[in-house]
Structure 1
Amino acid sequence: MSISGAFSNALSGLTASSRAAELVSSNVANAMTQGYGARSLELSTRTPGSAGVRVEGVLRQVDEVLIGDRRLADAAAGYHGAQQQFLTDLEQVLGTPDQPGSLSGRLAQFEASLIEAAARPDSQTRQSAVLNAANSLTTHLNATSDHIQNARLNADQAIAEMVATLNAGLDDVQALNAKIQTAQARGADPSGLMDLRQQKIDALSPIVPFRQLPRENGAVALVTTGGAVLLDGKAARLDFTSVNMIVPEMTLAGGALSGLTLNGIPIDSAGERSLVAGGALAGQFAVRDQIAVTAQVRVDGFARDLLERFQDPALDATRAPGDPGLFTDAGATFAAVDEVALATRISVNAAVDPDQGGALWRLRDGLGAAAQGNVGDAALLNGLIDTFSTTRVPVSGGFSATSQSAAGLASELLSSVTSDRLQTETRLGFATSQQQALRQMELSQGVDTDAQMQKLMQIEQAYAANARVISTADEMIQTILAI
C-alpha cells in the first residue's frame, strides 16, 4: 500500500471515529429523553476491494413492534379510565348506606321522621322534620341527575378537545413525514425528526388505538385498529360539534348531540363496529351516550317508584282525583309518558310547605284538607310509613323484577353502579398493568449508558490508532523529501 493510500485510509478512519463519538455523546445526553432512539453508524468499505471506511448513514434503533403494542395499551387505559372515573364519581354522589348524606341515608331519615311524627301527630316540630327530610330526599335526586348531565357535558367537551388534538397532531405528523423524506433525499440524518415524530404519535395514542405502518423514504401511515386511515400521505380530518348544555332529553340518536365524522363521512362513535373504538375518545362517547344515559334511566326509575308510592289514590282520601301526592312532578301529577328526567323535576308537594303557601298539618290531615282535623289522628302518617316500606315491583329503570321497598330499590341502584365500577376497574387495572410492563420493556431497550461508554473507549482507541498512522505517514513523507 502506498503512503498516500495509508494516509487516505487513516483519514477516513478519523472521520468515522469522530462521527461515532458524536453519536455516543448524543446517546448518553439523551438517555432519559422520552421517545429518543439510540443512534449508531452504518459503515462500509469505500469501494469493493479497497481499504478505508465509508459512513453510509446513521441507524436509529427502536423496536417498532414493542412501541406499537405499548400505544395500544395506552389507548385501552384511556378507554376504561374515562368510564371508571364517571362511575366512581356517580357512586360517591349516591353515597354508601353508612353515610347520612347518601340516598339510602336520606331515605332512612325520611322514614324515621315519619315514625316520630306518627308518635306525636300534634307536633309541628316533627311535621317540619318530615318536610325537611322529604326535601332533602328530592334535592339529592335532583343533584344526582344534575351530576349525571354535567358529566355528559364534560364528556362532550372532552371529545371536542380530543378531536382538536387529533387533527393538530395528524397535521404535525404529516409535516414531519415530509421533512424526513426531504432529509433522506438530501443525505442528511433525519433521526432527530423521527424522535419528534414518535413523540407526536405517542401523544395521540391514548385517544385512538392505531398501528404505525412504514412508507417510502422514512414516512409512516397511521391506521386505527378499526380500519380508519388517519394518515397515509395526507392527514384525515375528524369533525365534532360540542354543545353548551346537556339535559336528559338530549341524545345522539335524537339528533340533539353531535356524532363524529371522518373526512365528512359520519362514523359510529362507540361500540364494537366503531372505527375509533378502544381509546379515550370512544370512552368519552360511551360515557356521554351510553353509561350516563343508563344511569339517568335508573335514577329516573327510582324517582318514579318513590313518586308513585305516595301518589296512590287510596292513601289520602282528601285528594281530588288526578291531584299529585306527597311527591310531585314539578308540582304536577306524574304521567308515565314523561319519565325522562323525572329525577330532575321531582319535588315535595307545595301543599305541605309553609314557604310555598302550604301548611305542615296537611301531612297529618290530608293534602286536600281545607282545615285542620283531629290533632291526635296519626292514621295518614301511619299510612305514609306503610307506603314507604311496602314492597312493589319497579316498572322502569332496568331494575330486577322483584318486589322491593324504597330502601331496597335504593340499595339496588347503588349496587348496580358499584358493580359496573368494579368491573371497569378490573379492566382498567389490566390495561394499566400491561401499559406499565410494556413501558418498562421499551425503556430497557433504550440507551445503555454502560455500553455507550465502552463503545466510546473503543472509538478513542480507533481514533488514536488512525492518528498514529497519519503521524507515521507524515514522518515517512518528510524523510523522503529530506533525501
Structure 2
Amino acid sequence: MSMSTALNNALGGLGAASRGAAVVSGNIANALTPGYAKRTLELTTSPISGNGVKVVGITRRQDPVLTANLRSATADYAASSAISGFHTQFEALVGTPEDDRSISATLGGFENSLIAAASNPGSAERLDQAARAAGDLATALNSASEGLRQMRSDADRRIGTYVDTLNITLKDIEALNAKIPAVQNSGGDINGLLDQRQILIDQVNELVPVNVVARENNRVSLYSDGGLILLEGTAAELLFSVTGDTKPHMTVANGLLSGLEVNGQSVRTIGETAQIRGGALAAQFEIRDELSPKAQADLDAVARDLIERFETPGLDPTATPTDQGLFSDDGARFNATAPAGLASRMALNAAVDPDAGGDSWKLRTGLGALSPNDPGDATQLQAFGAVLNSARPVSVSSFGTGDLRASEISFVLLSKAGANAHAAQSRESYASNARLQMEQLVAEQGVDSDAELQRMMQIEQAYAANARIITVVDELMDLLLRM
C-alpha cells in the first residue's frame, strides 16, 4: 500500500468516524423523544482506493409491523378510555347500591316516609316529609338526566374539536409529503421530517385508526380501518357542525344533530360497519348517538313507571281521568308520544308540595280533595305505598320481561349502570396493558443507550487508529524529505 493510499484511507476513516459519532450522539440525545427512530450510519468500500471506507448515508430504522401494532393498541386504548369514562360518570349519576343518595335509596326513603305518614296520618310534619321525599325522588331523576345530557353535549363538542384537529393534521401531513421529496432531491437529510410526519400520523391514528400505505418518493397515503380515504395525494376534508347544547330528543335521524361528512359524503360513525371505527372519534359518536340515548331510555323508564303508578285508575278516588297523579310530566299526565327526556321533566304535583304552596294533607285525603278529611284515616297513604310495591310490566325490554316493583326497577337501573361501568373499566385496563406492552416492544427496537455508548467507544478507537495512520504518514514524509 502506498503512502497516498494509506492517507486517503485514513482520511475516509476519520470522516466516517466523525459522522458515526454525530449519529450515535443524536441517538442518545433523542432516546426519549416521541416519534424519533434510531439512526444507523451506512458505510461501503471506497471506489477510489478499493479498501477504504465511504459514507453512503444515514438510515432511519423502524419496524413497520411493530409501529402498526402500537398504533392499533393506542387507538383501542383511546376509545376504551372514553367509553369507560362515560359509564363511570353515569354510574356516579344514578348511584350505587351502597350509596345513600342513589336513586334507589331515594326511592326507599320515599317509601319509608309514606309508611311513617300512614302510621300517624294526622301529623302534618310527617306528611310534609313524605311530600318532600317524593320531590327528592323527582329531583334525583332530574339531576341524573341533566348530568347525562351534559355528558352527551360534551361528546358533541369533543367531536367538533377532534374533527378540527384531524383537518389541520391531515393538511400538515400533506405538506410534509410534498416537502420530503424536495429535500431528498436536493441532497438534504429527510430523517427529521420523517420523524415529524410519524408524530402527526400517530395523532391522527389516536382519533381515527389508520393504515399507512407507502408511495413513491417517501410519500404516504392514509386510510381508516373502515376504508375511508383520509389522505391520497390531498388531504380529505371532514365536516361536522357542533350542536353544543344537546337535548334528549335530538338525533341525527331527525336532523337535530350533525353527522360526519368527508369530502361532502356522509360517513358511517356507529357499529361494526363504521368507517371511523376504533378510535377516540368513534367513541365520542358512540357516546352521543348510542350510549347516551340508551341510558336516557333507562332513566325515562324509571320515571314513567313512577308517574304511571300514581295515575292508576281507582288509586285516588278524588282524581279525574285527566288529572295528573303524584308525579307529572312537567305538570301534565304521562303521554306516550312525548319526546325522550321524561326523567328530566318529571315533577312533583304542586298540589301536595308544601314548598310550592301546596297542601301535603292531600296525600292523606287524595290529590283532588278540597278539604282535609278525618286526620286518622290512612287509607289513601296506604294505597300510595301499596302501588309502589305492586309488580308491574316495565316499558323497556332492557329491564327484563317480568313484572317488577318500583324498588326492583330502580335496583335494575343501578345494577345495569354498575355492570356496564365494571365491564368498561376492565376493557380499559386490558387496552392499557396492551398499549404498554407494545410500547415496550417498540422501545426495545429503538435506541439502546448502553449499546450506543459501546458503539461510541468503538468509534473513538477507530478515530484514534486513523489519526495514528495520518501521524505515521506525516512522519514518513518528513523522513523522506530530510534524506
Q: How does 1:409-428 map to 2 (within 5 A)?
A: 409-428=409-428
Task: Provide the rounded CA distance (Å) in 1 between the counterparts of 2:243 and 2:215.
Answer: 39
- How far 1:339 sits from its partner (Å)? 5.5
* SS of 1:328 mapped into structure 2: strand
Task: Provide the rounded CA distance (Å) in 2 between the counterparts of 1:431 and 1:35.
Answer: 21
Report if aligned partners of 2:167, 2:237 keep a CA contact under 8 Å in 1.
Answer: yes
Q: Which stretch shifts more, 209-218 or 386-395?
A: 209-218
Q: How does 1:239-250 map to 2 (within 5 A)?
A: 239-250=239-250
Q: Deviations over 1:45-77 (max 9, x none)?
A: 232872322211101112221111011111111
Normalised by the length of structure 2, the TM-score is 0.97
Match status 1:292 vs 2:312: no
Aligned counterpart, 1:89: 89
Aligned counterpart, 1:32: 32
Aligned counterpart, 2:455: 455
* SS of 2:293 mapped into structure 1: helix
- How far 1:119 sits from its partner (Å)? 0.7
Report if aligned partners of 2:353, 2:360 keep a CA contact under 8 Å in 1.
Answer: yes
Distance change >3 Å, CA 415–CA 365, structure 1 → 2: same
Report if aligned partners of 1:302, 1:397 keep a CA contact under 8 Å in 2.
Answer: no
Q: Deviations over 1:57-109 (max 9, x none)?
A: 10111222111101111111111111111111111111122222111110110
Aligned counterpart, 2:308: 308
Aligned counterpart, 2:317: 317
Task: Provide the rounded CA distance (Å) in 2 between the counterparts of 1:449 and 1:332.
Answer: 72
* SS of 1:359 mapped into structure 2: coil
Structure 2 gaps of 5+ residues are none
Task: Provide the rounded CA distance (Å) in 1 between the counterparts of 2:336 and 2:114.
Answer: 27
Report if aligned partners of 2:222, 2:232 keep a CA contact under 8 Å in 1.
Answer: yes
Letter in 1 for 2:266: P
* SS of 1:465 mapped into structure 2: helix
Q: How does 1:396-411 map to 2 (within 5 A)?
A: 396=396, 398-411=398-411
Report if aligned partners of 1:43, 1:57 keep a CA contact under 8 Å in 2.
Answer: yes
Equivalenced residue count is 483
Aligned counterpart, 1:338: 338
Q: How does 1:320-469 map to 2 (within 5 A)?
A: 320-338=320-338, 340-396=340-396, 398-469=398-469
- How far 1:180 sits from its partner (Å)? 2.1
Aligned counterpart, 1:219: 219
Aligned counterpart, 1:162: 162
Report if aligned partners of 2:204, 2:210 keep a CA contact under 8 Å in 1.
Answer: no
Letter in 1 for 2:402: T
Aligned counterpart, 1:120: 120
Report if aligned partners of 1:318, 1:368 keep a CA contact under 8 Å in 2.
Answer: yes
Task: Provide the rounded CA distance (Å) in 2 between the counterparts of 1:217 and 1:389.
Answer: 74
- How far 1:470 sits from its partner (Å)? 1.8
Letter in 2 for 1:237: E
- Percent identity of the aligned residues? 43
Aligned counterpart, 2:260: 260
Q: Which stretch shifts more, 343-352 or 353-362?
A: 353-362
Aligned counterpart, 1:129: 129
Q: Deviations over 1:3-62 (max 9, x none)?
A: 322222221111111110111111111222222211111111232872322211101112
Task: Provide the rounded CA distance (Å) in 1 between the counterparts of 2:18 and 2:400.
Answer: 76
Report if aligned partners of 1:301, 1:397 keep a CA contact under 8 Å in 2.
Answer: no
Aligned counterpart, 1:63: 63
Letter in 2 for 1:12: G
Aligned counterpart, 1:269: 269
Letter in 2 for 1:84: S
Task: Provide the rounded CA distance (Å) in 2 between the counterparts of 1:466 and 1:56.
Answer: 19
Report if aligned partners of 1:316, 1:367 keep a CA contact under 8 Å in 2.
Answer: yes
Q: Deviations over 1:118-154 (max 9, x none)?
A: 0111110000001110000000111111111111100
- How far 1:448 sits from its partner (Å)? 1.2
Task: Provide the rounded CA distance (Å) in 2 between the counterparts of 1:339 and 1:226.
Answer: 33
Task: Provide the rounded CA distance (Å) in 1 between the counterparts of 2:451 and 2:97.
Answer: 60
Letter in 2 for 1:223: Y
- How far 1:233 sits from its partner (Å)? 2.5
* SS of 2:430 mapped into structure 1: helix
- How far 1:435 sits from its partner (Å)? 0.7
Task: Provide the rounded CA distance (Å) in 2 between the counterparts of 1:421 and 1:354.
Answer: 38
Q: Deviations over 1:225-246 (max 9, x none)?
A: 1111212322221111111311
Aligned counterpart, 2:188: 188
* SS of 2:420 mapped into structure 1: helix
Structure 1 gaps of 5+ residues are none
